Amino acid sequence: MGWLMLSLTIMLAVISAVNSCTPSDRAALLAFKAALTEPYLGIFKTWTGTDCCSGWYGVSCDPTTRRVADINFRGESEDPIFEKAGRCGYMTGSISPEICKLDRLTQLIVADWKGISGEIPKCVTSLPSLRILDLIGNKLSGKIPEDIGNLKRLTVLNIADNAISGSIPASIVGLSGLMHLDLSNNQIYGEIPADFGKLRMLSRALLSRNKLTGSIPESISQLYRLADLDLSRNQISGGIPEQLGKMPVLSTLNLDSNLVSGQIPPSLLTNSGVGILNLSRNNIEGKIPDVFGSNSYFMALDLSYNNLKGSIPRSLSSAKYIGHLDLSHNHLCGAIPLGSPFDHLEASSFSNNDCLCGNPLRTC
């Protein structure tokens, strides 16, 4: 009987040693959990036992090292745990700096919990393997860590929809593998770094709804993979760099609701790649360049609320496609050209100008 108990005990000890994660990883996760409150779904109820590599909601480990590799925590998800609760996630508390002890972490996703406050732990910049840092949709405040540029493997930096302030750290341009940058809807001020064009892998740069000032750095036009540039709803001034219209894959350019001045570079309108162009609500002046052609294809072209003068360019009627056109609230004058892009447009596309006429407005 004695040896049976003994061997059973040894066996259990062996099993639990095999099925446990690194104790320091487990301790770091428990500290992360302790700083958060999740009242509705009970996801932390799965965080029990010694093996943080299996069954702990949102945690996954490297199968060979059994070190924690991913924290994938999303407050909006199709997971059954959400369906059962019949609601999306909500969490309060803060992100404990103890997670920086998970030094094999490749993904840190703590997204859309709406109530998580406090700062982004500065120590995240010391996580050498981090590829994805996604903290969208919380209530995080404070600044982007100054030495964010240390994260040499980072491909995604998403801190949109928080209350982050301070300026964009100069070191950010050192993120040579960064593909997706989303800082939208925060309180970030100051200028976009002049050498932003060093982010050679960048394909999306979403900086809208902040308090950014200064001008659009010329160097952005060197981002030959950039498909989506959104600087809308800031206080950006100065002109639109001519080179933006020559970027090979840029397809969405939103500069609306800023203080942008000067004229529209003709290259922006000839370039068949930019399919969505919103320059609405700026101080853009001069004439609309008469450079449209059979390659011009715009899902949306919004030039409303500027100081554009002159007439609507005739060449616009030779455009291949214009989905949504808004030229309202400018100082345009003269006859609206005839032709296919104009057939489906409503009067509101042309309203509040100085003296436009013709269909769909009054006859000339």
Ligand X SMILES: *[C@@H]1O[C@H](CO)[C@@H](O)[C@H](O)[C@H]1NC(C)=O
Q: Which residues bind to ligand X, rule: CB under 6 A?
A: 232, 256-257, 278, 280-281, 300, 302, 324
Cis peptide before 360 (omega within 30 of 0): yes
CB of 325 to ligand X, least distance (A): 9
Name the strand (E) or helix (H) holding 31: helix 23-34
Cβ proximity to ligand X: between 104 and 329 the closer is 329
Angular region, 315: left φ>0, alpha ψ -120 to 50, beta rest: alpha
In whole angstroms, the minimum distance from the beta carbon of 352 to ligand X comes to: 14
Rounded to a whole number of angstroms, the minimum distance from the CB of residue 27 to ligand X is 47
Q: In terms of residues, how long is the chain? A: 364
Q: Which is nearer to ligand X, 36 or 236 (CB)?
A: 236
C-alpha triplet 93, 97, 98: angle, nearest 5°: 105
Shortest separation between residue 219's beta carbon and ligand X, angstroms: 25
User: Which of residues 118 and 323 has its CB atom nearest to ligand X in the complex?
Assistant: 323
Give the nearer residue to ligand X in terms of CB position, either 219 or 271. 271
Tokens of 259: 């203080």
> What single letter denotes the amino acid at residue 191?
E
- 13 burial (CB, 10 Å; 0-12 / 13-18 / 19+) is exposed
The encoded tokens of residue 268 equal 């922006």
The nearer residue to ligand X, 194 or 300, going by C-beta atoms, is 300
For ligand X, which is the closer residue by CB, 102 or 325?
Answer: 325
| Residue showing the smallest CB distance to ligand X in the complex | 256
The token pair that represents 21 in the structure block: 């994660």
Residue 256 beta carbon to ligand X: minimum distance, rounded to whole angstroms: 3
Strands 259-262 and 107-111, sheet pairing: unpaired
Contact 279, 255 (CB under 8 A): yes
Selection from 156, 200, 142 nearest residue 174 by Cα = 200
In the complex, the smallest distance separating the C-beta of residue 233 from ligand X, rounded to whole angstroms, is 6
